[in-house]
Amino acid sequence: MPMLSTPYRAYRARPFAAVAADGGTGGGSTARTPPLVSAPQADDAPAVRLLSETLREAARRNASDLHIEPMEQGWRVRLRIDGVLHEMARPPVHLRDAFVTRIKVLARMDIAERRVPQDGRLRLAPSGASQAAEDYRVNSLPTLHGEKLVLRRLEALPADLSLAELGLDEAQQRAVAEAISAPHGLVLVTGPTGSGKTLSLYCFLQRLNGTARNLCSVEDPAEIQLAGINQVNVREKAGLTFAVALRALLRQDPDVIMIGEIRDEETASVAVRAAQTGHLVLSTVHTNDASAACARLVDIGVEPYNLAGSLRLVTAQRLVRRLCPQCRVRGEASQSALIAAGLNVRDSDTTQPYVARGCEACHGIGYRGRVGIHEVLPISETIRELIVAGRGAHEIAREARRGGVATLRDAALARVRDGTTSLAEALAATQAP
């Protein structure tokens, strides 16, 4: 895959010493409001201009993460676009240390400390009156050849984000809306890291947000600030763990509690107890599909009868890349290949999947943006009985299929049939049931 182009030739002059006058010399404090990275000026130091233009290129290409990676000979910058890393043109070698130092200064990190990981935040100033500033979460990690930095772009939550825009079909939207409208119970979103679980939870909170409810969240950390939500950041070094924060929130008269992630028995037990005592609890777990989430909570110590009594709905999700609508073309796929992927005979006879080609609009990638695919599992009485009986994920999954619950593969193939994504992308993102 070709490198993403960036005009690095403009940065062949002025060495590292030029940065000192522009950024200070460190400090490990974290500002409440991240400092701004302003638009580059002609008289800025090369590293200053390089950082500003790199961040703006990342925003222009809608990258979710920036990787600044030291190597034995030089360094590189990679952008994660729609879940896939793409390397930019190699920057000048002599600007590596200045570039890293510039980021650490702006993120309120200690530039003298290179032996341990650090965290910080910075903000990219808007380039136009109609654009909002963009926040980045920064993490540094010592490696063999120097510090590696990853900048996570924290996008603002759209004010009109709906369940449909998450990728849920009409039946799934009804099931989710019913579960999160209940006065109490546990609603779980599951999937791997980077599958959009937090965005789904924020969408649920946004839908429930109003003056009549007290909504609280415990996160590590809060990636998006939501007006009207009481958000708490976990600080484990200070003793503020998920479980400790949850117990405190229960004394804050909450109606809805969002937990960033259920990681251990203590957090799971408090969450289930809260769901049983009149609170709606929204959270995430890391499992491959919806049925496995039930078994996961039992495995970490939740009593099956408590889980069965509190759990209302589990959703599993993935993100698949959207084909660029300007350059997608019809591909060739045999009927046997489509049937092997999971399509029935009738659909395989009428489906001719699109494939990625690449054009200027998508920067030669062939894909632009991502869409969610979902498995939505309402907890029926039969499934509750299976949970109480200690049945495994496979038996719960079989019962879900009998009840008409579509798998992640089914949802992905639906996106292939309507031309949203390619067959290769659908197969890569899901496994056959």
Per-residue pLDDT of 75-116, as tens digits, reads 999 999 999 999 998 899 999 999 999 999 999 999 999 999
The pLDDT of residue 190 is 96
Q: Which long-range contacts (CB under 8 A, 24 or more apart) does 204-208 make?
A: 204/176, 204/180, 204/258, 204/282, 205/229, 205/256, 205/258, 205/282, 206/157, 206/161, 207/163, 207/177, 207/180, 208/180, 208/256, 208/280
Nearest to 294 by CA among 376, 392, 401: 392
Per-residue pLDDT of 352-400, as tens digits, reads 899 999 999 998 999 999 999 999 999 999 999 999 999 999 999 999 9
The pLDDT of residue 11 is 45
Judge contact between 306 and 283, C-beta under 8 A.
no
The pLDDT of residue 135 is 87
Below-50 pLDDT ranges, the chain: 1-2, 7, 9-31, 129
Residues pairing with 84 in the sheet: 81
pTM of the model: 0.82
Q: DSSP code of 184?
A: S
